[in-house]
């Protein structure tokens, strides 16, 4: 009778161990499925974030390029104005040198608009 109870207890314990093993296998399966789902959701989330960041990068790069073009155009306009002012200044300098070489006062009258040229060059130099 004691042996019968021991055998019966062993059979019950074996059944409990088999049930516990089945439960562990089921838990392992659930953990694997949940992990796989979590990784898929994470991939989707990061793909969405990457897409948003890529769009923002494009927009920011476009803004920078537009600002670069605007600044370069402004600088080129300023360079053109300065070059024109320098050219006018050189012409005025040449005219002044020629005026200094004139010995005859009658010929100096031919250069009567020097004052107008001076005013024009001064304004150009101020703009530059």
CB of 124 within 8 A of CB of 88?
yes
pLDDT truncated to tens, each residue of the chain (128 aa)? 899 999 999 999 999 999 999 999 999 999 999 999 999 999 999 999 999 999 999 999 999 999 999 999 999 999 999 999 999 998 888 888 877 777 766 665 665 555 555 555 555 555 55
Say how far apart CA 119 and CA 75 lie, in whole Å: 25
Specify the 3-state DSSP secondary structure of 113: coil
Q: How many domains does the chain have?
A: 1
Domain housing 29: 1-127
């Amino acid at each position: 009778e004691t042996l019968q109870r021991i055998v019966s207890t062993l059979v019950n314990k074996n059944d409990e161990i088999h049930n516990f093993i089945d439960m562990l296998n089921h838990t392992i399966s659930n953990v694997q499925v949940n992990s796989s789902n979590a990784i898929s959701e994470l991939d989707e989330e990061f793909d969405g974030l990457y897409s948003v960041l890529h769009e923002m990068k494009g927009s920011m790069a476009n803004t920078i390029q537009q600002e670069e073009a605007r600044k370069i155009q402004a600088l080129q306009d300023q360079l053109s104005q300065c070059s024109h002012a320098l050219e006018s200044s050189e012409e005025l300098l040449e005219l002044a040198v020629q005026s200094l070489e004139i010995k005859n006062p009658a010929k100096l009258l031919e250069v009567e608009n020097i004052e107008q040229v001076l005013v024009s060059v001064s304004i150009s130099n101020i703009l530059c």
